[in-house]
Amino acid sequence: MDKKNAKGWLYVLPALLFLGAFLVYPLVDVLIYSVEEGFNFASQTYSGVGGYNYAYVLRDPYFIQAIKNTFILVAVTVPVSTGLALLISVGLSSISKLRELYQTVFFLPYVTNTLAVGLVFMILFKSTPYTDGLANLVLIWFGIAPVDFIDGPYWAKMTVLCLYTVWVVMPFKILILTSALASVNRDYYNAARIDGTSSLRIFTRITLPMISPSLVYLIITGFIGAFKAYSDAVALFGTNLNAAGMNTIVGYVYDMLYGSSGGYPSYASAAAVILFAIVLTITCANLLISRRHVQYLS
Amino acid sequence: MKVTLEHLTKTFPARGKKGREVTAVNDFTFEIPDGQLVGLLGPSGCGKSTTLHLLCGLQMPTAGRIYFGDEDVTQLPAEKRGVGMVFQNYALYPHLTVLQNILFPLQNLKGADKLSKEEMNRRANEAAGLVQIGELMERKPGELSGGQQQRVAIARALVKMPRILLMDEPLSNLDARLRLQTREEIRRIQKETGITTVFVTHDQEEAMSISDRIVVMKEGLIQQIGRPQEVYDDPANQFVAQFLGNPPINLFSGRIRGGKLLIGEEAVLEAGALPDREVSVGIRPEGFVPDPQGPFTCALSGVEVMGREVSMVCTHQAAAAPTVRAIVGADQVEAKAASVRFRLKPEKVFLFDRETGERIYG
């Protein structure tokens, strides 16, 4: 290694050390934990190496429930939040009056504390001895029987969780999309107008391709974020998510480590590796699809 | 298609507390004969781009009317006017190929105007052939040079057979050599298609070289309309005289005394029947003829060789600019002299009012 090379390594050393200690080592450790069978945390011993941890986790009904919940959450919230954000951004960029006001309003959830938002949703949806919650009041007003959204049937709880997630993730998407829309050169729209292009065609053939890099970014990070959901469910349904039937994969990992039934780092690691495999697969699929359709322009 | 503008005015409302109303286009009346190429020429902020936007319908006039032929299009939205426009930055859709870009306007046609796929392709190829980009059809705009992008933009504007063609600073993004080439190209395409064309430029040379007519504008007002040579030879005022010509016209403060035009103390020309008054004198660089017996003396500070001709850089105390430039034949120069005497060509000398800049005819 010549001198110049050594100097270069010296410069990247701090970053390498940091990444190694806090990123690479834990990752490798999780993989090792996940294959150590009968691991005892106190004595740091294990009885053998194999796939038992995975087999256990995949047979655990709580994990199956967590996977189901997470997939529903991802499948509903990513398209809905991205679609709504696109709609709102296009609306925002085509008005001139009160635009800043609306932008601020739409951005507020982003700077609001998750638990505070959870409280607000409780007030909206929770039934107490005194009130059925605002949502139920509206339902009753329309002559529909009230539903317990927090402790009631599964679909009601899932609806609230999805609503909550969409509401929390949308501001960031609106922010990204409004700036993407604003950066499209007006001359493209002028040229299209002079050529008699309909608004729909302008949107699908010009606007969408022009903002497609931002859209793909939002969809990929949206998928990853939704797969990692945990705090949203806690904010709504409390810490005992397994009992509520609303646990997520990350919630399951946490419970296996620290929850009341916890203390099983091997199972937690196996679940985490499974989550990693799912996210990796979906992100790769996303990138493959988008590469065919997205315009990255110099 | 003949284009007529009648008292066309565009006023932009005041912005902010200190802002004031801006009249970008002020009472324009002129007619563009069918099949002509007209250049709107003026410094930036003179309203030439606004005029173009009014013509294509991207902006609506505050007052006045626009006619294409006999049809009043003043209130017609941009998409119904049937104009083709070439933008300064070309505005080619970067995610579409050249062919898709050229097809784009055709695919917008609806109802009875709708074309078959074969017809669309035929017309796109025809337009591409006209601007000689036939072999680039599958490329993306990002893979083309500036000149090629320019041609694609022209093809896209022409493919729908517009009633008029508008160009906004079509050459400003090209380098000098390509600019010369492309302007001849634009001239050729315009001649071949016979489409009435309006283009906007701040470059007087560009406007003069290809226009049938130029419209010189300043601060929203038309200064002069005419054939390029006419406007150059017979400017209506000091602004037009200064704006056209490179090197620019030389200005001196002078006066008329007893039928003679005086610059400094030298009587340089006969002034005919003009009464005694103060004037501003404009002399084109080619209006100077070196002559040992000439009446006009300048201090010579240098000679710039341009090949066929030379530019004599002089100074004169009555001149408005620090240097006076005379373009003379290369064989007429004595570079070592400290001063030089000139005879003036009367047709290259213009008199203007000192205050208003209006032309004084003598």
Length of chain A: 298
pLDDT at B89 over 80: yes
CA distance B226 to chain A (A): 29
Give me the residues paired with residue B324 across strands: B314
Q: Measured between CB atoms, does A280 come within 8 Å of chain B?
A: no
Q: Do residue B89 and residue A185 have CB atoms under 8 angstroms apart?
A: yes
A231 within some domain: yes
Chain B nearest-CA residue for A207 = B93
Domain with residues B3-243, CATH architecture: 3-Layer(aba) Sandwich (3.40)
- A17 or A129: whose pLDDT is higher? A17
Q: How confident is the model at residue A118 (pLDDT cuts 50, 70, 90)?
A: confident
When pLDDT is averaged across residues A221-245 and rounded to a whole number, the result is 87
Using a 10 angstrom Cβ sphere, with 0-12 exposed, 13-18 middle and 19 or more buried, the burial of residue A241 is buried
CA distance A79 to chain B (A): 24
Order of strands, edge to edge, in the sheet holding B250-257?
A: B266-270, B260-263, B250-257, B277-283, B349-353, B359-360
When pLDDT is averaged across residues B156-174 and rounded to a whole number, the result is 89
Q: In the 8-state DSSP scheme, what is residue A23?
A: I
Sign of the dihedral through C-alpha B48, B54, B57, B61:
positive
Between helices A208-227 and A154-182, what is the axis angle to 10°? 140
For B310-351, what is each residue's pLDDT tens digit? 899 999 999 999 999 999 988 777 767 788 899 999 999 999
User: Residues 6 or more apart from A246 whose CB is under 8 A from it?
Assistant: A69, A157, A158, A161, A233, A236, A237
* Cβ–Cβ < 8 Å for B231, B259: no
pLDDT of residue B335: 66
Q: Do residue B84 and residue A194 have CB atoms under 8 angstroms apart?
A: yes
Q: What is the mean pLDDT of chain B?
A: 89
* Start-end of H helices in B76-219: 98-107, 117-130, 146-158, 176-193, 204-210
Measure the CA–CA gap between B289 and B296, rounded to whole angstroms.
10
Measure the CA–CA gap between B351 and B362, rounded to whole angstroms.
8
Q: B78 is written with which tokens?
A: 């941009």
Which residues span the domain enclosing A179?
54-107+154-293
pLDDT of residue A298: 42
A194 contacts on B by Cβ (under 8 Å) = 56-58, 78-79, 81, 83-85
Q: Measured between CB atoms, does A190 come within 8 Å of chain B?
A: yes
When pLDDT is averaged across residues B252-271 and rounded to a whole number, the result is 89
pLDDT of residue A47: 83
Lowest mean pLDDT among A48-57, A132-141, A160-169: A132-141
pLDDT of residue B155: 92
Give me the residues paired with residue B76 across strands: none
pLDDT of residue A238: 82
For B85, list phi and psi in degrees, rounded to 5: -130, 135
- A264 or B285: whose pLDDT is higher? B285
A289 within some domain: yes
B81 contacts on A by Cβ (under 8 Å) = 194
* Cβ–Cβ < 8 Å for B152, B101: yes
HEC letters along A179-234: HHHHCCCHHHHHHHHHCCCCHHHHHHHHHHHHHHHHHHHHHHHHHHHHHCCCHHHH
A93 within some domain: yes
Lowest mean pLDDT among A117-126, A182-191, B183-192, B315-324: A117-126
Helix H or strand E segment including A244: helix A241-244
Measure the CA–CA gap between B358 and B63, rounded to whole angstroms.
27
CA distance B92 to chain A (A): 7
Chain A nearest-CA residue for B55 = A194
Nearest residue to B83 (alpha-carbon basis) of B196, B210, B187, B214: B196
Q: How confident is the model at residue B362 (pLDDT cuts 50, 70, 90)?
A: low
From the CA atom positions of chain B, what is the Rg in Å?
A: 25
Q: Do residue A187 and residue B105 have CB atoms under 8 angstroms apart?
A: no
CB proximity under 8 Å: B 277-316 to A = none
When pLDDT is averaged across residues B190-213 and rounded to a whole number, the result is 91
Q: What share of chain B is helix, strand, coil (3-state, %, to 5)?
A: 30, 35, 35
Give me the residues paired with residue B281 across strands: B252, B351
Q: Which amino acid is at A189?
A: Y
Chain A nearest-CA residue for B102 = A195
Q: Which long-range contacts (CB under 8 A, 24 or more apart) does A125-128 make?
A: A125/A149, A125/A150, A125/A160, A126/A150, A127/A151
CB proximity under 8 Å: B 157-196 to A = 160
Measure the CA–CA gap between B186 and B184, rounded to whole angstroms.
5
CB-nearest to B89 from A187, A192, A297 is: A187
Half-sphere exposure of B127 (CA within 13 A, CB side): 28
pLDDT of residue A66: 94
- CA A59 to chain centroid, in Å, comes to 25
Q: Measured between CB atoms, does B115 come within 8 Å of chain A?
A: no
B55 contacts on A by Cβ (under 8 Å) = none
pLDDT of residue B137: 92
CB proximity under 8 Å: A 168-187 to B = 185, 187
pLDDT of residue A42: 73
Sign of the dihedral through C-alpha B270, B275, B276, B279:
negative
Q: Do residue B57 and residue A210 have CB atoms under 8 angstroms apart?
A: no
B contact test, residue of A194, A201, A207 with most B CBs within 10 A: A194
Q: Do residue B79 and residue A190 have CB atoms under 8 angstroms apart?
A: no
What does each C-alpha distance from B339 to A188, B143, B222, B316, B327 come to in angstroms? 58, 56, 40, 10, 16
pTM for the full predicted model? 0.80
Range list for CATH 3.40.50.300 in chain B: 3-243
Nearest residue to B325 (alpha-carbon basis) of B308, B346, B307, B340: B340
- Checking phi first, is residue B118 left (phi over 0); if not, alpha (psi -120 to 50) or beta? alpha
Q: B51 is written with which tokens?
A: 């005029």
CA distance B160 to chain A (A): 8
Q: Measured between CB atoms, does B143 come within 8 Å of chain A?
A: no
Measure the CA–CA gap between B158 and B146, rounded to whole angstroms.
18
For B41-61, what is each residue's pLDDT tens digit? 999 888 898 999 999 999 999
Answer whether the bond into residue B235 is a cis peptide, omega within 30°: no
CA distance A86 to chain B (A): 20
Nearest residue to A36 (alpha-carbon basis) of A49, A24, A25: A49
Measure the CA–CA gap between B128 and B130, rounded to whole angstroms.
5
Q: B242 is written with which tokens?
A: 């200064």
pLDDT of residue A1: 57
Number of domains in chain A: 1
Measure the CA–CA gap between B352 and B19, rounded to whole angstroms.
34
Q: What is the CATH number of the domain that holds A257?
A: 1.10.3720.10
- A264 or A132: whose pLDDT is higher? A264
Q: In the 8-state DSSP scheme, what is residue A112?
A: S
pLDDT at B74 over 70: yes
A187 contacts on B by Cβ (under 8 Å) = 87-89, 91
- CA A210 to chain centroid, in Å, comes to 25
A14 within some domain: no
Half-sphere exposure of A281 (CA within 13 A, CB side): 7
pLDDT at A281 over 50: yes
